[in-house]
Amino acid sequence: MKWLITGAAGMVGSDLRQALTLRGETVVALDKSRLDITDSARVHEVISSARPDIIVNCAAWTRVDDAEANEAAANAINGSAVELLARSANDSNAQLVQLSTDFVFDGSKRAPYDINDRTSPLSAYGRSKLLGEHAAAHAKRHLILRTSWLFGKSGPNFVEAIRRQLGKGTNPLRVVNDQRGRPTYTPHLAEALIRVVNGGATGIVHYVDEPECTWYDFACAIVEELGAAVSVTPVSTAEFPRPATRPAYSVLSTERYERMTGVRPESWREGLRQYLSNFEARSSKLE
């Protein structure tokens, strides 16, 4: 099978490319400089000449807070451009895999969100991603893979944010303890994506690592794994106003994923250990 990845330099795109290459799959991995997904003529030209079996759209506007003041720009990348990909996927008889997010939900539930639960995004980013889900559904064969709280080597993420604070000598760390979700290590997501595509899945699937936790719990785990001598103080979201409203509860249920693959989600704590040990290996090579 031939895979085409857009946004291939991002966190998910780069780990997916690596996972597919290690399996010996044929991969056309295109970063933004090689394929801007908002460029309709280029999308058509690239996809019709590559003729992939599967297009995985890892390109996105992911700056959640900046999207509030730039909703049209976020919609163009996360919404309208997905329509172009869906059209090209249909012309080439390819399957379109669209990455989406827990931010399509409003967080008012207190039990894990199922794939069929009502969407109701609270932020411009969430609305733009929901537009993307609707656009992806125009591809005759499509898979919408929702995930959350990603961390991986090729992008800014929460682990790096904590590490930056430690580097500045911040103590105690103040971290919100009233938002619940499921952190996910991007190599785990890449494996899950390949597994569900190879299993022939269509429609919506949720993949997130387990278990659920708060950002405070996640921060405590990072500090513990790093052996840092700092304390972590739980605070409320109200104490940390941000431009975009986040869902207070955005735990995604992986029930469909587990049923269709027979595999349980990976542990984010294990992913965190791997992430940190790979980082240490990279740093020591640089010394």
Of 1-9, 115-123, 210-218, 221-229, the window that binds ligand NAP (rule: CB under 6 A) is 1-9
Comparing CA positions, the residue from 166, 209, 157 lying closest to residue 185 is: 209
Comparing CA positions, the residue from 200, 74, 167 lying closest to residue 125 is: 74
Supply the minimum distance, in Å, between the C-beta of residue 229 and ligand NAP: 28
Dihedral angle, C-alpha 39, 42, 46, 51, nearest 10 °: 80
Active site annotation includes 207: no
| Cα(184)–Cα(195) distance, integer angstroms | 16
User: Of 147, 245, 254, 261, which one interacts with ligand NAP (CB under 6 A)?
Assistant: 147
Q: Which of 125, 207, 249, 257 is catalytic?
A: 125
Q: Does 36 bind ligand NAP (CB under 6 A)?
A: yes
- Looking at the chain, the number of H-run helices and the number of E-run strands are 10, 12
| Cα(126)–Cα(23) distance, integer angstroms | 33
Comparing CA positions, the residue from 144, 123, 139 lying closest to residue 244 is: 123
Q: Does 150 bind ligand NAP (CB under 6 A)?
A: yes
Q: Does 59 bind ligand NAP (CB under 6 A)?
A: yes
Q: 203: which strand partners?
A: 143
Q: Does 192 bind ligand NAP (CB under 6 A)?
A: no
Of 112-120, 147-155, 221-229, 262-270, the window that binds ligand NAP (rule: CB under 6 A) is 147-155
Q: Does 12 bind ligand NAP (CB under 6 A)?
A: yes
Q: Which is nearer to ligand NAP, 60 or 223 (CB)?
A: 60
Supply the minimum distance, in Å, between the C-beta of residue 140 and ligand NAP: 21
Q: Which is nearer to ligand NAP, 65 or 233 (CB)?
A: 65
User: Of 11, 201, 205, 272, which one interacts with ligand NAP (CB under 6 A)?
Assistant: 11
Comparing CA positions, the residue from 151, 150, 119, 152 lying closest to residue 134 is: 119
| Cα(129)–Cα(185) distance, integer angstroms | 20
Active-site residue list = 125
Binding residues (CB under 6 A) for ligand NAP: these are 6-7, 9-13, 32, 35-38, 58-60, 62, 77, 99, 101, 129, 147-150, 155
